[in-house]
Amino acid sequence: MLEYEVQFTGKFAYSMVVPDCPNPGLDVDGVGRVALPLTDHTAKLIASAGDQAPYGHGMDTVVDTTVRDTIQIDASSFHFTNPKWAPVIQKWVEGKVWSKLGCAPFTSPPRCEPYKLLLYKPGAQ
């Protein structure tokens, strides 16, 4: 089993270390299965499959690698193949995350959906 730090963002942010978390079985289109921990070689493969990530600057969305040198991959281009991954994440979302983000008790279960995969280059964060 592995240990991952999972971050959820919205109006608020919450970060936690999830002990005994299964390997997600990350599969990136054009790269294949991504072994963890990430190696320099695999990071370069992921970078070649993605695009430069923009960031918000006032009312604009811009690309400036001196500010944010990060690669993004759209959620439609990566998948978690380990069937044990989603139930573990859903358990943590329902059990802790929604309340830590300041949400009222839910009437229907909250869900966690990938938005983008971000690869931060050294010094970019």
Per-residue confidence in pLDDT tens, the chain, 125 aa = 555 555 555 556 777 787 788 999 999 999 999 998 899 999 999 999 999 888 777 777 777 777 778 899 999 999 999 999 989 888 888 888 777 777 777 777 777 888 899 998 887 66
The rounded Cα 29 to chain-centroid distance in angstroms is 16
Q: Cβ distance 26 to 33 under 8 Å?
A: yes
Q: Which two tokens stand for residue 104?
A: 């009222």
Q: What are phi and psi of 20, to 5 degrees?
A: 55, 40
What pTM does this model have?
0.76
